Amino acid sequence: MFRGQRLGGFSAQPAVEFDSGNLGIGIWSNFPIKDEVPDTSDPEFDLYGFYNITVNSATTVVPGFTYYYYPNAPTGAGFYRGTFEPSLALNYTVSGVKITPKVYYDFTLKGPTWELSGAYALPLKDLGTEMDFTATYGTYKVTDVVNQGSPSSKAWGDYWLVGVAMPFQITRRRSSPSAGPTRKAKTRSSRRVRRPSPPTRSRSAAAWVSVSYAYTF
């Protein structure tokens, strides 16, 4: 799932991240295994970076970027092999709840995405872990979704996500976050690839489960 759009089914998503102080850089990848959506890229590699700027004990500002790379994207059908999207987030924590407004701008697709997220960690001391709750609402509008399209084509949509995860520490350097059901709904979009088509609207909901394993050194 990406911003309310289903891009594949069962997938493997290896990632590597390097952190030094307030700086972080990494690469995330996606390899669809089952139920791949036609004309989506297989695989996908996302290079990203961010820097945490502390304002006070409750507030941080986080500029960042993501370069999305699709090596097998069918450019002849109007897809891009790569897009670049910087972002800016404000993290504010009050009474244990982290509130994050965030804005992205894709310079390739030419348009912004606006998000508002909330996160809360419920301690489970008897189990030695916590329950992490998250919720996000976002809206986007881009004006050049078709590579070399004439006239340029727009896409827009709204989406929301809610989720819960419970991490388990296996050793001091290994953890296995297990994410519970996540839902998304209310998406709408319009896309033109080779011929004009009228805007379409759809409402849908979905749930999925993910399991991850992390090693830190």
CATH architecture of 11-215: Beta Barrel (2.40)
Give me the pLDDT at residue 125, please.
87
- Gyration radius of the chain over CA positions: 19
* Percentage of residues of the chain with pLDDT beyond 70: 76
Structure tokens at 127: 């189990």
Average the pLDDT over 167-190 and give the result.
Answer: 54
Average the pLDDT over 41-46 and give the result.
Answer: 84
Structure tokens at 40: 């989506």
- HEC letters along 1-47: CECCECCCCCEECCEEEEEECCEEEEEEEEEECCCCCCCCCCCEEEE
Average pLDDT, the chain: 82
Average the pLDDT over 179-191 and give the result.
Answer: 43
Residue among 142, 136, 144 at smallest CA distance from 186: 136
pLDDT(1) > 70: no
Tens of pLDDT, residue by residue over 70-126, are 888 888 888 899 999 999 999 999 999 999 999 999 999 999 999 999 999 999 988
Give me the pLDDT at residue 133, please.
94
Domain boundary assignment for the chain = 11-215
Give me the pLDDT at residue 205, please.
67
Give me the pLDDT at residue 201, please.
43
| Cβ-proximal residues to 151 (8 Å cutoff; 6+ apart), any chain | none
pLDDT(188) > 60: no
| Torsion from C-alpha of 209, 211, 44, 15, nearest 10 degrees | 150
Tens of pLDDT, residue by residue over 123-155, are 998 888 889 999 999 999 999 989 888 888 898
| Cβ-proximal residues to 76 (8 Å cutoff; 6+ apart), any chain | none
